[in-house]
Structure 1
Amino acid sequence: MEIEEIKALLNDAITLDELHVSGENGHYQIIAVSPMFGEMSRVKQQQAIYAPLNEVIASGAVHAVSIKAFTPEKWQREQLLNPIG
């Protein structure tokens, strides 16, 4: 599965301010930024990201996913402390 395919699945399913996907060989890291995460528990945030990927995970095209979900405010703070590039 290509990174752009994962991005398309997520962007088609949920509204995100920013989306960063990296990885290869079925192992991916996802950083998602949206105001909707402010009202969700960490578990609900993870479920919101996993839901659009369930089919590709079940098929074996994606083996492992690491998810970090942020509100725009928390993402700004994270960028100051740990810029991604």
Structure 2
Amino acid sequence: MPEVREAVDAIKEAIDELREIPLLSYEVMDADLAVGSNRVQHGLARTPQGWLIADRDSVATLYRTAWTTRDITLQASAAITVRILVF
């Protein structure tokens, strides 16, 4: 049944295209950050394209200094607990 095979292939291709959209593939994690450099593991299995602060318990300046296929390194100006979305 070639028609069925073509339909399955088209569905697989459409799913693969959706997986390329960064915000459809993300991890949400909570992290207790100390002053200075903090490495937070994510489960994306790829280098992230961005990150967002979803919640925090105090005031601090946060910025990314590095990221890999396994973790993101955040610099914090004060001790803070954050919920971040990594995509």
Q: Using structure 2 for the length normalisation, give the TM-score.
A: 0.28
Greater fraction of residues in strand? 2
Structure with higher RCO (Cα < 8 A, 6+ apart): 2
Greater fraction of residues in helix? 1
Larger Cα Rg: Structure 1 or Structure 2?
Answer: 2
Q: Using structure 1 for the length normalisation, give the TM-score.
A: 0.29
